[in-house]
Structure 1
Amino acid sequence: AIREEREREEEKRMREKEEEERKREDEEKRRKEEAEKRRKEEERRFAEVQETMEKTISEQMQIAELEHEKKMKPLMEENVQLRLKVQQLQIENENLIKEKNEISSENDQLQESLEM
């Protein structure tokens, strides 16, 4: 009877040990799962923040591009006007040079006829 009692107590202790081990394993598994959940959540939030930053940077670049175009458009138009003015002045200059040469030639002819 004493031996049976000891065997029952030994079996009881073994079951308790097994139960404690199972609880410990379950707790460890739960902690690992929670840690993995936190890691995934942090990765998701990081990706979200990164995406938001990329959108913001892209929007800022577009704004800067539009502002640059807005500033450049009148300058480019002015440049075209100035180029046209330069062409016009070059043509006028060429015409004046031709006219001067013609007058000079006429003058030379008159000078020659006076000398004769």
Structure 2
Amino acid sequence: MSDTLTEQRRFTRIPFSAIAHLHSGQTESYRDCQVLDLSLNGLLMQIPQNWQGKLGQSFSILLQVSDDQIEITMQAKVAHISSTAVGFQCQQIDLDSISHLKKLIALNLGDERLLDRQLLALTQSLKPTTS
């Protein structure tokens, strides 16, 4: 990872396997995408089959967390693309979704102080929406 990207990353990524569905306002849609990791500020997934997305393009993302009907929805933009993966930076997230995401991150981090610092950084970078 480049020094610049390392310096920019303020949010701990946790390995996480889940399925996501993507949709752009331009009728571009990708279903059953494999999530590789999550952070409070976005996610990384395997590059979807027939990928046509571009850097900076906005997508609505629906992340299916588990069999017990937990879903996380966010608006995110494409932050980076490699030959195997695409990273998304969260631009907007509703209160229910950020609550679910916070619980997932807390369970995997095991460090409440680190989570609190990352939540503060997140609140400074985006504004939650109401459901």
Smaller-chain TM-score bracket = under 0.3
Q: What is the TM-score normalised by the length of structure 1?
A: 0.15
Greater fraction of residues in strand? 2
| Bigger RCO (CA 8 Å, 6+ sep) | 2
Q: What is the TM-score normalised by the length of structure 2?
A: 0.14
Greater fraction of residues in helix? 1
